[in-house]
Each structure stands twice: as C-alpha cells, then as structure tokens.
C-alpha cells in the first residue's frame, strides 16, 4: 500500500481534508489519512471492512465532480461534506480517492477568511509574512494589497524577488535593519524597526516602521507575521520637534552666556567705578574729619557718614560677588570651596567640600555654569530641604567632570520636579545640557536628595573632534 500512496505522500499527512482510498472492484476502503481517521473516528483496523456505500450517502460518481453528501462516522452519526471521488493511478494500480471537506468547517473557514480580508483591507499599511532561511535566503509568503501603495512595488514582484526589499532600504539604514532581524530571530522576540526606503517610482524617501512576531518553523526557518506602516509624517514631525528643542537649547545657552558676560561687565564697572569712588570718598572724609573744629555734633555726623561709606563699600562688594565672584578667576575648585564656606556661614549648616583634583582646567563659561548650578542647588537646600548637613564633591574621571550635592533633608517629591514654577531646577538642567551634560535628582541614602551633574571633559571633547576631523579628511 505504501507504493500506491507514494504519489500522494506529500499531501497525505499534512492536509486537513479527509482522504480515503478504495479498491474499485470491491469498493472497500484500503487506507485513510490522519485527518480522516481523526474526524470520522475510525481506527485503521476498521478500514478493510468499510464499504464506500456504507461510508457515503448518496454514493458519489467517480467523475471527480464536486458533490454534496453525508459522511458516516464510526459512532453512527453523520455530517455534511463536500466531496470528490476520482481515480488515481500509481505503480501500475488504480484506486479511487475520496476527498471530503466538512461543509460547516469550510463555511466557518470562509467566514474567518472574509473577516481577515476585511480587517487587512482596512488596515493602514502592509500586512505581511516574512521568512528567513538558515542559508540567508528570504521570502514573503504573504503580502497584502497595501504593498504597492507602501513600497512602490507590487506584491508579485516581491514574491518573485524578495531580496528587492533590502535594496529598497537606504544604504545607511541596512545595517540596523539586518542587525534587528538577526537579533529577533536569535531571541524570538518581537521585531521592531524604523528606517528609510527609496521609492523609485516616486523618486522619494519614505520612513517605515515594521512590527512583527517571530516563530520557528522546521529546518531552522524563522517566520514573522506583522505589519509595515508609513511613519514619514510623524517621523518628520518628531525630527522637527527635536530640531526645535535643539534650537531652543542653543538659544537658552546663548542667553545664559550673554547674561553671564553682562554680569561680569556690570560687576567690573561697579567694582572699578563705584568701588574706586567710594574709596576716594572715604579717604577725603578722613582728611576732612582731621580738620574739623572741636565740635562733638559735627564729629558725630562725620563718623556717621564714614560708617555709611563703609556699609556702601560692603554692599558694592556683596553685589559684585553676587554678579560674578572674582574668586572664579582662581579656578572652579577654589570658587566652589569658597561658595560652600559662605553657604555654611549664611545658612548655619554643617557643610563639607571635597575634590579629587587641586585644579581643573575649564573654560570660563563651563566653570561659571557649574558654579551657578551648585549655587542654585545650595539655594534650594536652604529654602526647601530642612537639612542639617550638606556635602559637595567635585571629581574628575577619565571622561567626565562631575559634581554631587548631597543633603540629609526631607527629600524632593516627584511632583516638585514638574511644578510650573520650578524654574530653578529647569535652569540647572538647561545649564547642564548646554555643556553637553546631564543633571539627575535621586534620593540620598538615609533620606535627603542627591543632585548630580556630569559633563564631558573638555580635553576629551577636543580630542574626539580632532579625531573626527582627521577621519573626515
């Protein structure tokens, strides 16, 4: 019987149709495929005694035409089927092949297919199946009608030449496409990729996103089912938003730089002009006081004016330091150490400062920005933290310069970070971003807050720029 079935073996085991083979002379069943045995309930030992007339009613004609009939199950029940009875030839022998399909199952399958077709037709994009073979070959077993609209090529073209899809992907994006495909195949995780394709029919570049789920097939083949969509519009909007944010960040950095330059100019003018004038006035007062007549009331007035000049000189000195501490001229380490001592004196808190370097080479704008961030952080601690201890640590690592400000206060709530009037935190973050760095807030061990700022080392950025220029040349 195995020789007679050799020509049918490819479909015999895998088809969902019920297949029976009958001897044309005795019209007795000689074989049935797994689907027939499972659906009818017959065992292989029952087949030799099973007559065609007993199995099917009415008895079909062996002309291969589609006919409606009832197929009797082993338990005596019957079910409506659509069948064909036709002769098959093989190895010098002729048999009758009865193929039956459950009408209810077929109708249900048609309904499911109709629903699937309706869903696919209303899905924006391309519904597809994609296979990757162990030898690297690819194929598209299924492509919906959206293929032409999305990719500019027909489904028939991709069926015939599936390698065309990779050719559509821009050269700059092919590596990421292949890498994401291999990663999904290896991990059996979802494949999610965004990239650009060239639509030759329209001479245009389009952004697409593909999302699909993999599952293994026999012989090491991996198959994905998913959808490709056109994300050009959203991608361009996203790029425009990023560009707009970058421009705003540049404007903010420029405004801060101009502000600091203006502060420096005003501080120098106040120090040079007002400070010099007040010093001259104090010297003149001292000369005049020495020549005043011996009148107690006049000497009291002179002493009052002299004290007023001293207070004004102190105010000028304080305002100058607020505008731009002159100690920044001695470097960031010295400036932060001085600021921490001043804060400890003014706030009455236990404060400490540490640095793993005695000096750090930074340009004035970078040093000023880091100083202002620390200054703002200390101001926030004094206003809100209710802390008793503050620690500031400045460190230089192989690639970065970092500052950490830690307090043991009440901590910061997530809602406080997004308050509409939290301009202090936003300003600190913007200053850090202007230095190509980042600012993070976290909870300190035992309570409190850690404000961490990390920026690239200027010498490392310069080295990277020089190396990139050399490669470009």
Q: What is the full per-residue pLDDT of the chain (473 aa) written as tens digits?
A: 444 444 456 567 777 889 999 999 999 999 999 989 988 899 999 888 899 999 999 988 888 888 889 999 999 898 888 899 999 876 678 899 999 887 666 665 566 556 656 555 666 788 899 999 999 999 999 888 888 889 999 999 999 999 999 999 999 999 999 999 999 999 999 999 999 999 988 888 999 999 999 999 988 999 999 999 999 888 888 888 888 877 877 877 777 778 877 877 887 888 778 888 888 888 888 888 888 888 888 888 888 988 998 898 888 878 877 787 788 888 899 999 999 998 999 889 999 999 998 888 888 888 888 998 998 899 989 988 889 999 999 999 888 999 999 999 988 877 766 666 667 788 888 888 888 899 999 988 888 899 999 999 887 655 544 444 444 44
**Same domain? 318 vs 339:** no
What pLDDT sits at residue 183?
95
Taking alpha carbons only, the member of 110, 143, 111 closest to residue 212 is: 143
> What are the DSSP calls for 295-332, one per residue?
-HHHHHHHHHHHHHHHHHHHHHHHHHHHH--GGGGG-H
b/e burial code for range 163-195 (CB count within 10 A of at least 16 → b): eebeebbeeebeeebeebbeebbeeeeebebeb
**Same domain? 181 vs 75:** no
What pLDDT sits at residue 472?
45
Rounded Cα gap, residues 74 and 370, in angstroms:
87
Question: Is 53 within a domain?
Answer: yes
Question: Is 1 within a domain?
Answer: no
**Same domain? 144 vs 213:** yes
What pLDDT sits at residue 360?
85
Instruction: From 230, 256, 276, give the residue that closes a domain.
Output: 230
Rounded Cα gap, residues 392 and 444, in angstroms:
13
**Same domain? 335 vs 460:** yes
153, 164 in Cβ contact below 8 A? yes
Domain count, the chain: 4
Question: Is 114 within a domain?
Answer: no
SS3 452: strand
What pLDDT sits at residue 389?
93
Rounded Cα gap, residues 217 and 131, in angstroms:
9
Rounded Cα gap, residues 239 and 242, in angstroms:
5
**Same domain? 188 vs 138:** yes
Question: Is 141 within a domain?
Answer: yes
pTM: 0.50
Helix (H) or strand (E) holding 213: strand 204-216
Helices (H) and strands (E) counted in the chain, each on its own, are: 16, 16
> What CATH number does the domain containing 402 carry?
3.30.565.10
What pLDDT sits at residue 271?
76
What pLDDT sits at residue 111?
67
> What CATH number does the domain containing 86 carry?
3.30.450.20
Question: Is 115 within a domain?
Answer: no
Question: Is 284 within a domain?
Answer: yes
**Same domain? 69 vs 12:** yes
Question: Is 108 within a domain?
Answer: no
**Same domain? 342 vs 310:** no
Separation of CA 284 from chain center: 70
**Same domain? 460 vs 338:** yes
280, 321 in Cβ contact below 8 A? no
What pLDDT sits at residue 105?
60
351, 338 in Cβ contact below 8 A? no
Instruction: From 102, 131, 151, give the residue that closes a domain.
Output: 102
146, 123 in Cβ contact below 8 A? yes
Burial-class residue 344 by CB neighbours within 10 Å (0-12, 13-18, 19+): middle
**Same domain? 203 vs 172:** yes
Instruction: From 304, 323, 342, give the residue that closes a domain.
Output: 323
Question: Is 237 within a domain?
Answer: no
Instruction: Write a three-state SS string for 133-191.
Output: CCCCCEEEEEECCCHHHHHCCCHHHHHHCCCHHHHHECHHHHHHHHHHHHHHHHHCCCE
Domain limits at 416?
A: 331-464
SS3 60: coil
Total length of the chain: 473
What pLDDT sits at residue 49?
85
């Amino acid at each position: 019987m195995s020789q007679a079935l050799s020509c049918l073996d490819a479909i015999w085991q895998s088809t969902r149709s019920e297949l029976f083979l009958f001897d044309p002379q005795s019209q007795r069943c000689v074989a049935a495929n797994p689907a027939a045995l499972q659906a009818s309930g017959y065992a292989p030992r029952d087949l030799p005694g099973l007559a065609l007339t007993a199995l099917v009613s009415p008895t079909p004609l062996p002309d291969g035409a589609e006919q409606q009939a009832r197929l009797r199950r082993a338990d005596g029940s019957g079910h409506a089927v659509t069948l064909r009875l036709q002769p098959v030839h093989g190895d010098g022998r002729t048999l009758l092949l009865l193929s039956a399909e459950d009408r209810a199952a077929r109708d249900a399958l048609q309904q499911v297919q109709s629903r699937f077709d309706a869903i696919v037709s209303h899905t924006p994009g391309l519904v597809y199946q994609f296979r990757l073979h162990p030898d690297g070959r690819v194929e598209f077993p299924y492509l919906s009608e959206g293929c032409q609209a999305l990719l500019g090529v027909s489904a028939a073209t991709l069926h015939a030449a599936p390698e065309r899809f990779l050719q559509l992907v821009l050269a700059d994006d092919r590596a990421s496409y292949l890498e994401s495909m291999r990663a999904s195949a290896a991990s059996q995780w979802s494949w999610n990729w965004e990239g650009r394709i060239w639509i030759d029919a329209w001479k245009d570049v389009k952004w697409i996103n593909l999302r699909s789920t993999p599952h293994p097939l026999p012989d090491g083949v991996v198959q994905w089912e998913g959808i490709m969509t056109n994300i050009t519009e959203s991608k361009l909007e996203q790029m425009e938003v990023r560009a707009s944010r970058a421009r705003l960040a540049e404007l903010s950095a420029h405004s801060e730089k101009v502000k600091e330059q203006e502060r420096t100019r005003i501080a120098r003018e106040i120090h040079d002009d007002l400070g010099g004038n007040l010093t001259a006035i104090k010297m003149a007062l001292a000369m005049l006081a020495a020549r005043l007549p011996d009148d107690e009331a006049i000497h009291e007035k002179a002493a009052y004016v002299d004290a007023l000049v001293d207070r004004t000189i102190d105010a000028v000195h304080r305002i100058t330091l607020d505008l731009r501490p002159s100690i920044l001229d001695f470097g960031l380490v010295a400036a932060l150490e001085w600021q921490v001592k001043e804060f400890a004196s003014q706030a009455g808190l236990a404060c400490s400062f540490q640095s793993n370097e005695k000096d750090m080479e930074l340009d004035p704008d970078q040093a000023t920005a880091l100083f202002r961030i620390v200054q703002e952080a200390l101001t926030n601690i004094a206003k809100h933290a209710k802390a008793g201890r503050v620690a500031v640590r400045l460190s230089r690592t192989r690639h970065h310069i970092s500052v950490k400000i830690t307090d043991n206060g009440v901590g910061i709530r997530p809602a406080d970070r997004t308050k509409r009037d939290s301009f202090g935190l936003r300003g600190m973050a913007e200053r850090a971003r202007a230095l190509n760095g980042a600012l993070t807030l976290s909870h300190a061990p035992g309570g409190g807050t850690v404000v961490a700022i990390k920026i690239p080392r200027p010498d490392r950025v310069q080295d990277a720029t020089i190396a990139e220029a050399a490669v470009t040349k």
